[in-house]
Structure 1
Amino acid sequence: MDKRIFWLALGSFAIGTEGFMIGGLLPTLAAALHVSTALAGQLVTAFSLVYAVTSPLLTTLTGRMERRTLLFGSLLLLAVGNVVCGFASSYGWMLTGRIVAALGAGLFSPGAVAAASTLAAPEKRGRAVSIVVAGQTVSLILGVPFGTWVALTFDWRMTFWIVGGVTLLAALAIQLQFPRVAPAGAVGMRERLSYLKQPELLSALLTTLAWATGIFSLFTYVSELFAGYGAGGRMISVVLCLTGIASFIGVRTGGIAADRIGPNRTVPLALIMLTASLFLLSALNGFAGRPGILVLAVSAMALYGFSGYMFNPAQQHRLIGLSGPSSGIVLSLQSSVLYVGSALGASAGGAVVRFATAGEIGYFAGAMTAMSLVLFAVSLRLERREAHSGHSPAADDSGASG
């Protein structure tokens, strides 16, 4: 395996930390910027929405740009965004920094996967891509709780500066150690969006949208939720770390289960467990302060991490089966839909915090993942109908996998 691929994974790690760490910093940021917790949560909405909208656009516009230069420039943008956030003295400047960071992240992620495929030997390309993608998963285990700990122990600004420094290190390593990587060519927006005309693919992507809205509505306000259980800042760091570990196990389990029992069985299993954990997190909130309730809540949060991220590899496996040779384009749509869900989740979660309480977020999130389960059932029915009519791009493989 080409060791240079790990620099791409470091870039993905920085993006994951930047995107997810706001959940642990939310009360601190709200107080420092003199805004409500709900408004501070919209920093997640801004990052996710800009990423979702601009990533396919910028990827199309830069399709003929040399990859090393593109990767270096995109990470510089991400680093600048984090530095701006670290020096921000107002909500407006913080929002500006998040938007700049999202532009860089949206450019880097698809380019990094393409570069990893180019650098690796043909028989090792799958492993190379998984290493790059694993960078964001590792950020849940290490980056997010570490960022929360740094903010509580030193200063919240240092968290952004550290992420900026890690990003700059990855950018310089890529510029100095990578060869020039030829562009793969651009795929037009019309061609990308044409896949949404296929009902089985559209319903599958809507399944992802509802799932992402649910998990991110809760994760964005996880600090507020566990504050209601009486957890302090350092305990919340522990909760985030345990959730990250459970998420990593969930990703591995989801991939293995998708191979062994098929994605059409793995996806509903993950969504059922996820929905149960989300409802439980809000139900337990009514008993906060009683002996053992915090332990049960942490256990429910671990189940949330496990089942929430068990869904993702199985869903990607299913989308590859549905889309056949066009899987690269469909997976890029999946990435954009995921970030749209993150934006919707952060926005809707903020509304729950503002008009109800943080303790009720689990009910909203659980309703969204239950909707995801319904949409999956619709998509599965459409898939089987297409398989019987012989129109599915990978009808035989997809039908056999479930």
Structure 2
Amino acid sequence: MRKYTALFFFIMFMIGTDTFLISPMLPTLQTQFGVSTGIAGWMLGAYTLGSAVFALIAGPLSDGWNRRTVLLCGLLGFSVSTILCGFADSFWTMCLFRLLAGISAAFTAPQVWASIPAVIPASSISKTMGIAFAGLAAAQALGVPIGSWLATAHWSVPFWTIGIASLLLAAVAFYLLPDIKPNARKEDRKSILGRYVPLITSGKARSGFFAYLLLHLGSGTSFAFAGKWMFDRFGLPIGQIGTVMMFLGFGILLGSTISAYAARKLGHASAVAAGMVLLTALYAIMPHLPSLTAVTIAYLIIFATLGIIFPIVMGALTSLNASIRGTISSLANSTMNGANTLGAWFAGLLYVQFGGYSSIGIFSAVCLALSLGTFLFGGVLGRKSERISPESASA
């Protein structure tokens, strides 16, 4: 069991590192490819766009395939496309390779969550899920700063390192994972659209996913140009930006660790409401903080709060219907990456056209306030939440 747990942790660690790697490197890559600030964010957005679009079909589609094969193919594609990023000779080739990496990640990550119940004993599934999620948090705490430090040698080194490490993980997965074939019953062979019908027709699900979109739009817009802003405001070189990013990752790790405790003590709705109110205030005031130390502390609190909120919100969404949790997880992943894609575009527009990072802070605060209102008025976090009927899931 431990070998599977370690494998899933490191796969999510690599995907998480690659997802967030561009943000602290953005000033370096902008100079390398000679692009304006307004479009530089698309080097981040191309990855999340590919992941967002293909996650919509990757999860439901792979339900009918051997999950081991899908995971291996996705991980191989992720490895190769990430290595190619290190050979990019222009802004557009970098965007292309980032797009391919995002598409590959869309086929890889859902297989981790779907494979855990198939290869892990029932009594250890929750623990393994938590360890795999910790891989994403550890990526920000350690992977992104390490990538930033490697980039001080040359901007391509982090891409080559992640790609080669992922290639080795694919080899390990090939030898460790058994075949995980789908149920062959005819009634389980639903169409891709059929798996989404219960979510489309549920008002609670629509409210929940719209609120989830706003939550990630606010946080993603703020994060996309964090490295650029710290470079412009405080003159930080890429290595020191990576050090600040390390505190962000530790914040998420801390928050995800105490999330269950906060939910028990405060209740799900109260924990999320208190967290979002705090985030709204911090996003609004952070661009005006006078020192790098104050900014670092604010980011630590922000990401610790996000670490508390995200598991609670995901738990509320996946509890809408246990029979389509895979599809719900895929849609949540697509929503997150779609929001981050929009966030990268909005961040560039706001930074250049509307007063720099201050306008980004206001935008993020508004998104968080609207997200909280949608969650509460939609009833997603209520004690007696509406459930999507299993019968409708078989449509």
- Tell me if both proteins adopt one fold, taking TM over 0.5 as the criterion: yes
Work out the CA distance in 2 between the residues paired with 1:86 and 1:183: 37
CA shift for structure 1 position 381: 7.9
Percentage of identical aligned residues: 26
Give the corresponding residue for 2:40: 40
Could you tell me how far apart the structure 1 residues matched to 2:189 and 2:88 are?
Answer: 36
Letter in 2 for 1:191: G
Q: Deviations over 1:10-69 (max 9, x none)?
A: 111111111111110000011111112331211222211211111231333333322222
SS in 2 for 1:183: coil
Question: Separation in 2 of the partners of 1:58 and 1:330?
Answer: 12
Counterpart of 1:252 in structure 2: which amino acid? Answer: T
Contact (CA 8 Å) 1:258, 1:317: kept in 2 or not? no
Hey, what does 1:250 align to over in structure 2? 255
Distance change (3 Å), C-alpha of 1:381 and 1:124 = closer
- Please state if 1:295 is matched with 2:293: yes
| Match of residue 355 from structure 1 | 353
The aligned counterpart of 1:236 is 241
Query: How far apart, CA to CA, are the structure 1 residues paired with 2:316 and 2:64?
Result: 30
| Unmatched tracts of structure 2, length 5 or more | 390-395
Q: Which residue identity lines up with residue 318 of structure 2 in the other structure?
A: I
2:212 is equivalent to residue 208 of structure 1: yes
**Contact 2:24–2:226, Cα closer than 8 Å, also in 1:** yes
- Asked if the contact 1:116/1:132 (under 8 Å) is kept, the reply is no
Cα distance, 1:231 vs. partner?
4.3
- Matched AA of 1:129: M
Does the Cα contact within 8 Å between 1:13 and 1:139 map onto a contact in 2?
yes
Between the aligned partners of 2:322 and 2:7, the Cα distance in structure 1 is: 30
- Normalising to structure 2: TM-score of the pair? 0.91
1:317-356 equivalence runs, <5 A:
317-356=315-354
Deviating more after overlay: 370-379 vs 209-218 = 370-379
Query: Is the 1:200–1:383 contact (alpha carbons within 8 Å) kept by the matching residues of 2?
Result: no
Q: Which runs of 5+ in 1 are unaligned?
A: 395-402
Match of 1:155?
154
What does residue 364 of structure 1 align with? Answer: 363
Check the 8 A contact 2:60/2:326 in 1, yes or no: no
Match of 2:392 in 1: none
Q: Which amino acid aligns with 1:178?
A: L
Contact 1:282-1:362 within 8 A present in 2 as well? yes
SS of equivalent to 1:4: helix
**1:51-102 CA distances to partner (integer Å, 9 max, x unpaired)?**
1111231333333322222211111100111111100001121111111111
After superposition, the Cα gap between the structure-2 partners of 1:327 and 1:74, relative to the gap in structure 1 and judged at 3 Å, is: closer
Task: Please list, as runs of the form range in 1=range in 2, the aligned pairs for 1:2-401 lying within 5 A after superposition.
Answer: 2-152=2-152, 154-183=153-182, 187-194=190-197, 195-233=199-237, 234-284=239-289, 288=290, 293-360=291-358, 361-380=360-379, 392-393=387-388
Asked if 2 retains the 8 angstrom alpha-carbon contact of 1:67 and 1:180, the reply is yes
Contact 1:33 1:90 in 2 (8 A): yes
Distance between the aligned counterparts of 2:172 and 2:381, measured in 1? Answer: 46
Distance in 2 of aligned mates of 1:359 and 1:250: 25
| Residues 334-363 of structure 1: per-residue CA shift (max 9 Å, x gap) | 221111111111111111122134322212
CA distance in 2, matches of 1:328, 1:69: 17
| Whole-Å separation in 2 of the counterparts to 1:230 and 1:378 | 41
Distance 2:225 2:381 in 1: 35
Report how many aligned residue pairs link the two structures: 382
Q: How big is the shift at 1:230? A: 1.2
Partner of 1:400: none
Rounded to whole Å, the distance in 2 between the matches of 1:122 and 1:225 is 46
Assess if the C-alpha contact under 8 Å between 1:26 and 1:37 holds in 2. no
- The Cα shift of 1:187 comes to 4.8
- Residue type of the partner of 1:343? T
Contact residue 207 and residue 380 of structure 2 kept, 8 A? no
Separation (CA, whole Å) in 1 of partners of 2:307 and 2:63: 30
Residue range with higher mean Cα deviation, 68-77 or 248-257: 248-257
Cα 1:187–1:351, aligned 2, differ >3 Å: closer, same or farther? farther
TM-score for both structures, normalised by structure 1: 0.89
* Alpha-carbon shift at residue 124 of structure 1 (Å): 0.9
Change in Cα spacing, 1:231 to 1:253, as seen in structure 2 (3 Å) is farther
Deviations 1:139-158 (A, max 9, x none): 01111111111112x01100
Q: Distance in 2 between matches of 1:186 and 1:38?
A: 45
The one-letter code sitting in structure 2 at the alignment partner of 1:173 is: V
